Amino acid sequence: MPSTPPSATTALVTGASSGLGEMFARRLAARGYNLILVARRGERLLELAKELPVQVQTICADLVTEDGLGKVESAIRDCPSLDLLVNNAGFGTLGYFWEADIAGQRDMHALHVMATVRLTHAALGPMVRRNRGGVINVSSVAAFSINPGNVSYCSTKAWMNNFTEGLDIELRHAKSAVRVQALCPGFTYTEFHDTLGVDRKGIPDWLWLKADDVVESSLRGLGSGKVIVVPGLVYKLVAALVRPLPYGIRKHLKRPFKDKRA
């Protein structure tokens, strides 16, 4: 995809009210994309929209619900200029799976997996017919291993990586110019870990990434056709070392922070 989009080109970003979603909105607006911003916190979307120098449509929707997901699917189908979809909405939990609230586990799978499936399906058909466009699925470096107390998060992000690679194989087979990407950041300065209940002081400073650097790595990678993007040298090394390890070794790997619930 070109770094500068054609006129009247639109990007849709989920989970856009804060963190990486908000940064994607700001960076894409700076590149000239009109925006459709989706999140549960509608008031924050409206505040963000006022700051951006492009046309912005906001959709207050919870993507774990049929109503919310259907609303965003319709917005995708009704937007002939949609050139980029960023599936960023997501959340994490901590604690052993069998002790966790099943509703939270169900919602995580619904958001990371089914929402990604349905929104990507709605977007890809028109993109392939136009032979241009892209989809970014915001995954995580956690996709490369599974840690105790984080099973559903790691598993759904691993699925996201596999799904994205599979789509890329199909698109290349179809000789399509449409690009897909799984973005796999590590610890990033956003509200994500605060909401999760992780104490930032327990994580070394050198492991933290800036949200704008993560987004720039993503957009640069999409332009060059890179399917799996891991921002930051440290996390590139982690991914390169962990991915080929057999399960017998990977099961002994631990997170760089402690959680009393896990």
Per-residue pLDDT for the chain (262 aa), expressed as one digit of tens each? 545 565 579 999 999 999 999 999 999 999 999 999 999 999 999 999 999 999 999 999 999 999 999 999 999 999 999 999 999 999 998 899 999 999 999 999 999 999 999 999 999 999 999 999 999 999 999 999 887 888 999 999 999 999 999 999 999 999 999 999 999 998 887 655 455 555 556 677 778 899 999 999 999 999 999 999 999 998 899 888 876 655 555 555 555 544 433 3
pLDDT of residue 241: 82
pLDDT of residue 35: 98
Of the residues 33, 96, 153, 189, only one is catalytic, namely 153
Domain limits, the chain: 10-250
pLDDT of residue 145: 85
pLDDT of residue 199: 55
Residue 153 annotated in active site: yes
CATH topology assigned to domain 10-250: Rossmann fold (3.40.50)
Beta bridge partners of 58: 37
3-state secondary structure of 36: strand
